């Protein structure tokens, strides 16, 4: 499946299939005015990276993998959970968070941001590529 950002046009998709097909660290699937869906693939032993979004909420759905979820009010005060296929993670604005792939298979997740977090059409093949692009936006 070719994954191309379809927003802001009306769009219907098998979100599980799209998430499982994605091999990039991050691919935007749909970018609207107030909402965005991205797909992520994280290799075993790797993570999304500890981060905080001060101005928006985030929803993540795990479609594949064993995951360690860390969240808290500061980067030094985190609670952890184990999650796997079918689990949802809700991240309120201002909450530090990270997802780490702790299983033998890659972690496949989709994320919904409100408001939009990444430019329309964003594709980051690797985490390093994403970090370079994000530091250039700051």
pLDDT at 126: 86
pLDDT at 133: 84
Q: How confident is the model at residue 39 (pLDDT cuts 50, 70, 90)?
A: very high
pLDDT at 1: 64
pLDDT at 137: 67
Residue range 10-19: mean pLDDT, rounded: 97
- Contact status, residue 83 vs residue 36, Cβ threshold 8 Å: no
CATH 3.40.190.10 for domain 25-137: no
Residue range 93-107: mean pLDDT, rounded: 97
Q: Where are the beta strands (DSSP E) in the chain?
A: 26-31, 36-42, 57-64, 66-74, 77-84, 88-91, 96-101, 107-114, 123-124
pTM over 0.85: yes
Q: How confident is the model at residue 40 (pLDDT cuts 50, 70, 90)?
A: very high
Q: Which residues contact 132 (CB under 8 A, 6 or more apart)?
A: none
Cα–Cα distance, 39 to 48 (Å, whole number): 12
pLDDT higher than 90, residue 64:
yes
């Amino acid at each position: 499946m070719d994954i191309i950002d379809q927003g802001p046009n009306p769009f219907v998709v098998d979100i599980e299939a799209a998430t499982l097909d994605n091999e990039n660290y991050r691919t935007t699937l749909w970018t609207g005015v107030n909402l965005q869906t991205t797909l992520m693939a994280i290799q075993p032993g790797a993570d999304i990276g500890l981060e905080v979004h001060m101005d928006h909420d985030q929803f993540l759905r795990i479609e594949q993998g064993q995951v360690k979820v860390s969240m808290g009010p500061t980067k030094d005060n985190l609670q952890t959970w184990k999650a796997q296929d079918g689990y949802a993670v809700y991240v309120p604005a201002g909450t530090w968070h990270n997802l780490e792939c702790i299983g033998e298979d890659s972690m496949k997740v989709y994320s919904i941001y409100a408001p939009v977090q990444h430019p329309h059409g964003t594709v980051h093949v690797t985490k390093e590529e994403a970090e370079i692009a994000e530091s250039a936006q700051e």
